[in-house]
Amino acid sequence: MTETCQTCRHFRQHYIKMGWRYAPILHGHCVYPRLKPRRADTPACPCYRPREDA
Ligand code: SF4
């Protein structure tokens, strides 16, 4: 499987504030089936569901 958490609908991106804007970072978290830290480039797990806009 080549998908990663970044394109999964269960992934929540984390950001840092840079002056006037927010920039995405490599880290985030997964909300399904329970809350856990994940990186955007983590290989997808069996619970992977593609985002609507991915
Ligand atoms: S750990 Fe699985 S369910 Fe969670 S964001 Fe990544 S691919 Fe999706």
Question: Could you identify the atom of ligand 1 that is nearest to the CA of residue 8?
Answer: 8
For 28, the domain range is 1-54
Domain count, the chain: 1
pLDDT tens per residue, range 4-18: 999 999 999 999 999
pLDDT tens per residue, range 15-49: 999 999 999 999 999 999 999 999 999 999 999 99
C-alpha 39/C-alpha 13 separation (Å) is 9
Q: Which of 42, 49, 51 to mutate to test the pocket of ligand 1 (most atoms within 8 A of CB)?
A: 42
Cβ of 6 below 6 Å from ligand 1: no
Calculate the alpha carbon distances from 21 to 10, 18, 25, 28, 29 in Å.
24, 5, 13, 18, 21
